[in-house]
Amino acid sequence: MSSPTPARETTGPLAGIRILEVGTMLAGPYAAMLLADLGAEVTKIEPAGGEISRGVSDSYFASLNRNKSSICLDLNSPAGQQRLGELAANAHALLVNLKPSAIRRLGLTYDALSQYNDKIVCVAITGFGLDGGDDPAFDYVVQAGVGIAALTGDPDGPPTLPGYSSADNSTGMSAALGLLAKIVSGSGGQVDVSLRDVMFSQLNYHAAAYLNDGVEPQRRPYGAHSYYVPAQLFPTADGFLALFITHDGFWKSFAKEAGIDGFETMTQRVARREEVLAAVTSALATDTAASWEGRLRPLGVPAAAVRSLPEALEATPEVVVQAGDMRLVGSPIRVWGYQPDYRPPPTLEG
């Protein structure tokens, strides 16, 4: 018997939580938007003329700033600082992403704002930490500096960056988690989240293998996994297929469907990697990527045809929401019984 559908909540799980955002471009605004989607009241503090990402495009700004209100303040002026203090007095948290010197100069730390509210949580997103200096720390620069670009791409080609801002987005999620954790603790204070630290954290098993076993990560063709075989992209008769065999049960089902004998255990497949990859490549060449996906999914084998973003969005209309005039990808956090009321990004208000 299926479980009953929970009653729809009229307010989000973060209803009543008031957050100030001094965000720019991506990491900070994305963190605050995730919280706003869950019902938090987010006020975006912008300079005269608006936050810089308003000048990128309307769709760019909307993708990171729906469900917020906005106020323009000159934080370099006494009047702006006074208004900031008034807002902080009634806020649960402030989230900022600027370089450390600007965060301190504009009074956007717990040390500065606790005089107005000793329960406020101040979250700083920076490149290298609040004490890490002001060196430029944009997404791609950080990915290059911590080893991600060196890990990505064909072994015989140049280092490669992903086609989206993975460092900014990941850091935004981490900052939102840190903000909520500190609010739950019941005490105010400073939370310090850096792009560098987040990306090192996401290199978890690669870093552990090097630090403990001296194993240096290496690039493999078609993005092959370090530990699992076969787990990578494969060419097919038409298109590419991602196949991710992580245990022997998956292999048994796949091998039967593909007509491959042997290599029953992961230990064998890792030891005979090149033989396995040759057999799998030969088998997959007999059909298209879309067909293989259709054949393997019912067997419980992790596989997907490589799609473009437009193709993926067309195939998954349920992820698209309407926020005013904008069609956007909705919140990835689905709370049963609650459906966000997606509102358009804020217009500029003084």
Q: Which positions are catalytic?
A: 168
Question: Rounded CA gap, 2 and 249, in Å?
Answer: 28
Helical H runs in the chain?
Answer: 27-37, 58-65, 78-89, 100-105, 110-113, 139-146, 148-151, 166-185, 195-202, 204-213, 248-258, 266-271, 273-284, 289-296, 309-315
DSSP code of 348?
Answer: P
CB < 8 Å & 24+ apart, contacts of 140-143: 140/167, 142/167, 142/195, 142/196, 142/199, 143/167, 143/199
Our CA angle for 99, 102, 103, nearest 5°, is: 85
Q: Give dist(CA 309, CA 114) in Å, integer.
A: 45
| Residue linked to tokens 């307010």 | 11
> Which amino acid, one-letter code, is at 275?
E
Q: Which residues pair with 231 in a beta bridge?
A: 244
Work out the angle between the directed axes of helices 248-258 and 273-284 (0-180°, nearest 10).
Answer: 40
